[in-house]
Chain A
Amino acid sequence: MNPVLLSFLQLLFLMILAPAISWFIKKMKAASQNRIGPKLAQVYADLWKLCRKDMVISETASWIFHAMPFVLFAATLAAASMVPILWNHSLFGFMGDAILFVYLLALGRFFIALAALDTGTTFGGMGSSREMTLSSIAEPALLLSFFALGFHARTLSLEGMTAHFANASSLQILFFTSLAFGSLLIVTIAESGRIPVDNPATHLELTMIHEAMILEYSGRYLALIEWGHQIKQLVFLTLLADFFFPWGIATTGGAAALGLSLVFYLAKVFGLAFVIGWIEIHSAKLRLFRAPDLLTVAFVLAILSLLGQLIIGRGV
């Protein structure tokens, strides 16, 4: 198959799969509460419903408010298109490396924080300030864990790193990189706005972080934001799968290899989603001022991973 087409299709696949991951976590939470939970179709129906609904937009909203959903979605998608999903190439993998990936996400975050301030409502500013506080620790932690992994793989390209770990013998990738795994997992929880950092299911505006920033959005814009958020969550899970459970990823575009890769991939991301859901069920949300502590742990883990490799060597 044409590699470009294949890369494009795998990105499309990721976009379609993203809401299902959210559904899976919702279903887990429902099970812990003696509820049945939503059907799989429900998460897609919700997005479709939002797409058809009218939007209520504040009169004081400027172009930033209107541009934000598109910028956020585009930035997230661009970041997603640099990540190998089913086979170890990606659509834009040739263009940039992990640093670009981090900054694309930062671009989306910058706009979402700006748009939250734009309408001048009570909770938007609060959400922006919290998001920025937390991301000022989460972002360096993310970068450092990329550096730690990149040092091991001798490349910062996400494609290259995936290829490196896929080819490395499994014992080799265990010790120091597993510290980076801890780091990346915490960042994943923070970036996808989940307990214990943020609570996606709350109605209490005063406690919100991510939700507080998008309170003013409705209709199509909200659908874009929600979908973008779900894609971002899956991208992080995919990265975790690529780097730490690199088995089964297709190296050629053949149907058999891709089929096998698909099975492996689904098992991996749903397995990781299970971990996220398990944490969400078993813990309460952290006090806001404790959340930076957790992210600092991620930062320290990433540093340890990098330093350990620098001192003892890449082979361990």
Chain B
Amino acid sequence: MKTALEILRERFGDAIRKDLKGLAKQSHILVTKNEIVEITIFLVQNLRMRFLFLSGSDTRKENGAFTLHYIFSYAQQDEFLVVETRIEEKDPSFLSLSPFLPQANWQEREIQDLLGLIPKGHPDPRRLVLHEDWPEGLFPLRKDFKFQAKIPRQKGEYAFERVEGEGIFEIPVGPVHAGIIEPGHFRFSAAGESILKLEIRHFYTHKGTEKSGEGRSPAHLLCLAERISGDNSLAHVVACAQALETLAQIDVPPRAQFLRVVFLELERLHNHMSDIAGISLDVGFSFGASQLMRVKETLLRLNEQVAGTRLLRSAVPLGGVRADISEARKQWLMEQIKKIKEDFEKTIQILWQVDSLMDRIETTGILKKEIAETLGAVGPAARASGIDRDLRRDHPYGAYKDLFFMIPVFSDGDVESRMKVKVQEIYQSFKLIYDALRAMPQGSLRGEIKPLIPSQSALGYVESPRGECFHWISTDGHGKISRWKVQSPSFANWPLIEYAVLENIVPDFPLINKSLNLSYSGNDR
């Protein structure tokens, strides 16, 4: 059987300039910039690869041009394909993928804002990450941008897309909200109570996290990764650690791999618990909300006892894990998990029987499979719309390949389906924790730390509670971190909400939003 690379070479010949050496499970090719769209179409349509994300970096010092990395997943063979292309400074533009692949929309606009490379033929070239008050011609991800520089503000206004007609009005919501949540703006165009269009405007909390990671030590980078999205701290840190471990060829001992699974599933548990509680709260059924929040608190305290911190921060350093779970502790933890499971089960049985709650969540916020597929949905949101996609199975990392678990998929795409996916995932997480604790081999907790390989890039990935979380790290000639790209699940999933709310009424928006439960900070970075 021919490899994907051979097929590509046959098909495109000269456009495939070089086959670069890639690290574990990553094939890496360099192509000319004008063929990128055709190659992508070929990869996606003929080879059934999935476009994951796009990362741009300023490599003018190393090779005199900007570099774009298009990352594809080839799930059948558990491989990733990295397509690299160079963009000269004198012609800072590239062909846009968005008309063909709408999920590239935000990706390309982010590159445009942060690197100053223009996606030609992009259907919506408005600003995204840097708002209109950011001065023209200043691109933070370029190496000549000073991170500490004081940036003057300029005047500018974002043009919302207007829906016009008799009786149609706009409802601006945010960026400051009533609850204790992060900022984000939602602009509804409504006729009466029906939503005709929703436009979201985010990135109010863009902190330049990726930029601030450049040149840092791996340990420092992990600290930063931990702070990208509060409730998904561990998923980010493990993804980042995996990228660094691949880059430094560090072997993570098997015991640490299993412990990471335990911690990751503990994180999924408390996230899903709070999501389901949120759904219950937003329909005004406070009994379910407070019972599940109580279970969540039990889980957080359990985290603190097991790993030392409630949100599992600092649990995972480079090369392994920090805290061990002793034999005696293991029994105790299994008992606790069993108790929590029973507690959860009781509450959820009650919730399924409350007709008024079911009436609110059924058929609310339907996200059609085609739309979810086109926009590159990930995580529970995708799995509730009938897309069978989970990194733990498709690209198994850590100890997941040694463990057996199911991936719940529901096809209605409404709030109920998303809730069902999360409930089933909670059961799978209980099982995974249980199995991982039992199957855990003896051994050391941390592998030997080695320096990063110079001039190389690596991908780290985790199926976080919200979905696929990727960390893409490149090193320069001295083995220092020169680019750190974070593809958080929220960045992939936020555009979905604009479609999930269509044909719904305004007062159902908070519920739909809660069922997707996306992170602002993870999105804005």
Contact with A along B350-370 (1 / 0, CB 8 A): 000010110110001000000
Q: A122-B172, A126-B171, A284-B357 are in contact. Are A206 and B287 (CB under 8 A)?
A: no
Q: Chain B residues with Cβ under 8 A from A195's Cβ? A: 284
> Which residue from A33, A204, A285, A289 sits with its C-beta under 8 Å from B193?
A289
Q: Shortest distance in angstroms between B361's beta carbon and chain A's nearest beta carbon? A: 9
Contact with A along B280-298 (1 / 0, CB 8 A): 1011111101110010000
Q: Shortest distance in angstroms between A237's beta carbon and chain B's nearest beta carbon? A: 21
Q: Does A52 contact B (CB under 8 A)?
A: no
CA distance A126 to B173 in the complex (A): 12
Q: Shortest distance in angstroms between B509's beta carbon and chain A's nearest beta carbon? A: 5
For this complex, 10 residue pairs linking A to B, each with C-beta atoms less than 8 Å apart, are A29-B286, A33-B286, A33-B290, A34-B291, A203-B178, A206-B507, A207-B507, A284-B284, A285-B283, A288-B507
Report whether B507 and A281 are in contact in the complex, using a CB–CB cutoff of 8 Å.
no
Q: Chain A residues with Cβ under 8 A from B192's Cβ? A: 129
Q: Does B156 contact A (CB under 8 A)?
A: no
Q: A205-B173, A206-B509 are in contact. Are A287 and B286 (CB under 8 A)?
A: no
Q: Chain A residues with Cβ under 8 A from B359's Cβ? A: 284, 286-287, 290
Q: Does A172 contact B (CB under 8 A)?
A: no
Q: Does A283 contact B (CB under 8 A)?
A: yes
Q: Does B179 contact A (CB under 8 A)?
A: yes
CA distance A290 to B508 in the complex (A): 12
Q: Does A199 contact B (CB under 8 A)?
A: yes
Q: Chain B residues with Cβ under 8 A from A205's Cβ? A: 173, 178
Report whether A207 and B285 are in contact in the complex, using a CB–CB cutoff of 8 Å.
no
A-B residue pairs, 6 tightest by C-beta? A285-B284, A33-B290, A284-B285, A284-B283, A284-B356, A284-B357
Q: Does B502 contact A (CB under 8 A)?
A: no
> Which residue from A126, A282, A287 sits with its C-beta under 8 Å from B508?
A287
Name 4 extra pairs, CB < 8 A, besides A207-B282, A289-B193.
A206-B507, A206-B509, A207-B507, A287-B364
Q: Does B99 contact A (CB under 8 A)?
A: no
Q: Chain A residues with Cβ under 8 A from B290's Cβ? A: 32-35
A residues in contact (CB < 8 Å) with B: 29, 32-35, 122, 126, 129, 195-196, 199, 201-207, 281-290
Q: Chain B residues with Cβ under 8 A from A289's Cβ? A: 193, 505
Q: Chain B residues with Cβ under 8 A from A196's Cβ? A: 284, 356
Q: A206-B506, A206-B509 are in contact. Are A201 and B294 (CB under 8 A)?
A: no
Q: Shortest distance in angstroms between A232's beta carbon and chain B's nearest beta carbon? A: 21
Report whether A284 and B354 are in contact in the complex, using a CB–CB cutoff of 8 Å.
yes
Q: A122-B173, A205-B178, A289-B193 are in contact. Are A283 and B285 (CB under 8 A)?
A: yes
Report whether B284 and A288 are in contact in the complex, using a CB–CB cutoff of 8 Å.
no
CA distance A281 to B291 in the complex (A): 13
Q: Chain A residues with Cβ under 8 A from B509's Cβ? A: 206
Q: Shortest distance in angstroms between B287's beta carbon and chain A's nearest beta carbon? A: 5
B260-295 with Cβ < 8 A to chain A: 280, 282-287, 289-291, 294
Q: A203-B178, A204-B510, A284-B360 are in contact. Are A32 and B286 (CB under 8 A)?
A: yes
B residues in contact (CB < 8 Å) with A: 171-173, 178-179, 192-193, 280, 282-287, 289-291, 294, 354, 356-357, 359-360, 364, 505-510
Q: Which residue of B lies closest to A288 (CB)?
A: B507
CA distance A282 to B356 in the complex (A): 9
Q: Chain B residues with Cβ under 8 A from A32's Cβ? A: 286-287, 290
> Which residue from A29, A199, A203, A290 sits with its C-beta under 8 Å from B179?
A203
Report whether A33 and B506 are in contact in the complex, using a CB–CB cutoff of 8 Å.
no
> Which residue from A35, A129, A202, A206 sits with its C-beta under 8 Å from B173?
A206
> Which residue from B171, B193, B280, B282 sits with its C-beta under 8 Å from A122?
B171
CA distance A205 to B357 in the complex (A): 20
Q: Which residue of B lies closest to A281 (CB)?
A: B287
Q: Which residue of B lies closest to A290 (CB)?
A: B359
Q: Which residue of B lies closest to A209 (CB)?
A: B507
CA distance A282 to B351 in the complex (A): 11
Q: Which residue of B lies closest to A212 (CB)?
A: B507
Q: Which residue of B lies closest to A125 (CB)?
A: B169
Q: Which residue of B lies closest to A32 (CB)?
A: B287
Report whether B356 and A286 are in contact in the complex, using a CB–CB cutoff of 8 Å.
yes
CA distance A286 to B359 in the complex (A): 8
Q: Which residue of A lies closest to B364 (CB)?
A: A287
Report whether B173 and A283 are in contact in the complex, using a CB–CB cutoff of 8 Å.
no
Report whether B285 and A204 are in contact in the complex, using a CB–CB cutoff of 8 Å.
no
Q: Shortest distance in angstroms between A121's beta carbon and chain B's nearest beta carbon? A: 10
Q: Chain B residues with Cβ under 8 A from A126's Cβ? A: 171, 506
Q: Chain A residues with Cβ under 8 A from B193's Cβ? A: 288-289
Q: Shortest distance in angstroms between B507's beta carbon and chain A's nearest beta carbon? A: 4
CA distance A283 to B508 in the complex (A): 17
Q: Which of B171, B172, B286, B290 has the most CB of A within 10 A?
A: B286
Q: Shortest distance in angstroms between A203's beta carbon and chain B's nearest beta carbon? A: 4
Q: Chain B residues with Cβ under 8 A from A285's Cβ? A: 283-285, 356, 360
Q: Chain A residues with Cβ under 8 A from B178's Cβ? A: 203-205
Q: Chain B residues with Cβ under 8 A from A33's Cβ? A: 286-287, 289-291
Q: Chain B residues with Cβ under 8 A from A207's Cβ? A: 282, 507, 510
CA distance A206 to B357 in the complex (A): 18
Report whether B282 and A283 are in contact in the complex, using a CB–CB cutoff of 8 Å.
no
Report whether A287 and B506 are in contact in the complex, using a CB–CB cutoff of 8 Å.
no
Q: Shortest distance in angstroms between B158's beta carbon and chain A's nearest beta carbon? A: 18
Q: Shortest distance in angstroms between B252's beta carbon and chain A's nearest beta carbon? A: 41
Q: Shortest distance in angstroms between A125's beta carbon and chain B's nearest beta carbon? A: 8
CA distance A301 to B285 in the complex (A): 27
CA distance A86 to B284 in the complex (A): 35
Q: Chain A residues with Cβ under 8 A from B291's Cβ? A: 33-34
CA distance A85 to B291 in the complex (A): 39
CA distance A55 to B513 in the complex (A): 33
Q: Chain A residues with Cβ under 8 A from B356's Cβ? A: 196, 283-286
CA distance A281 to B359 in the complex (A): 16
Q: Shortest distance in angstroms between A267's beta carbon and chain B's nearest beta carbon? A: 26
CA distance A289 to B360 in the complex (A): 11
Q: Which residue of A lies closest to B170 (CB)?
A: A122
CA distance A283 to B359 in the complex (A): 11
Q: Which residue of B lies closest to A203 (CB)?
A: B178
Q: Chain B residues with Cβ under 8 A from A288's Cβ? A: 193, 505, 507-508
Q: Which residue of B lies closest to A33 (CB)?
A: B290
CA distance A288 to B356 in the complex (A): 12
Q: Chain B residues with Cβ under 8 A from A204's Cβ? A: 178-179, 282, 510
Q: Chain B residues with Cβ under 8 A from A287's Cβ? A: 359-360, 364, 505, 507-508
Q: Chain A residues with Cβ under 8 A from B287's Cβ? A: 32-33, 281-282
CA distance A285 to B356 in the complex (A): 7
> Which residue from B172, B179, B294, B354 sits with its C-beta under 8 Å from A283?
B354
Q: Chain B residues with Cβ under 8 A from A290's Cβ? A: 359
